[in-house]
Amino acid sequence: MKLYKHLDEHIETYLSATLLIFFSILCVFQVVMRYIFNESLTWSEELSRYAFVWFVYTSAAYAVRYQRHVKFNFLVYLLHKISPVYSQILKIIALFCWIAFLLFVDYYSIQTVINQFNLGQVSPANRIPMYIVYLGLPLGALLMTFRVSQHIINSFIELKRFKESH
Q: Do residues 125 and 160 make contact, with C-beta atoms less than 8 angstroms apart?
A: no
pLDDT of residue 163: 81
pLDDT of residue 6: 78
Domain coverage including residue 18: 2-165
pTM: 0.86
pLDDT averaged per 10 residues, the chain (length 166): 79 93 95 92 92 95 88 72 82 94 97 97 94 96 95 92 80
pLDDT of residue 165: 80
Q: Do residues 155 and 161 make contact, with C-beta atoms less than 8 angstroms apart?
A: no
Domain total for the chain?
Answer: 1
pLDDT of residue 26: 95
Packing angle between helix 84-119 and helix 136-165, nearest 10 degrees? 160
